Amino acid sequence: MSYRVCLVCMGNICRSPMAEVVLRKALADRGLADRVVVESAGTGGWHEGDPMDERALRILSDHGYDGSMHRARQFTKDWFDRHDLVLAMDLDNLANLRRIAPAGVEVRLFRSFDPAAPANAEVPDPYYGGREGFEEVLALVESAAEGVAKHVADEID
């Protein structure tokens, strides 16, 4: 049986797929790749089926990650039934997820697992900016991914 994690942003073409790729590697580095499924989705569906934003893909590639297989999907209420941990990239998406979450389901911010991050820290949306915004997103998700991987390891051991 696998533990399942879903990372959620707005359109599922920048932040959450970058975090998905980074978290997968962090879990693989801990020897958990065969025990944990990592997925991502967006609260909006306008990019469904699209590949990752080219700028996000380029930043990942420049840092040794491969995001080429990603296709955007939309998070729907039934996804809560098949995921053990749902993490939002920002407060708006956190609120959207909490509105549709069944009673008793906890949804958290992705950066809440980064001990250096302040309370309610978000992964900012780089979509309307340049390369530096995507570099910032990668640095933030790399910092938080280690904490998420540790949490997941503790949950499944």
Rounded Cα gap, residues 137 and 118, in angstroms: 16
Q: Among all residues, which ones are annotated catalytic? A: 9, 15, 125
| Partners of residue 86 on adjacent β-strands | 6, 107
Determine phi and psi for 91, rounding to 5 degrees.
-65, -35
Pull the structure tokens for residue 107.
């949804």
Q: Report how far apart, in Å, the C-alpha atoms of 18 and of each of 23, 86, 98, 125 are.
A: 9, 15, 22, 12
Kindly report the number of other CB atoms within 10 A of residue 154's CB atom. Answer: 8
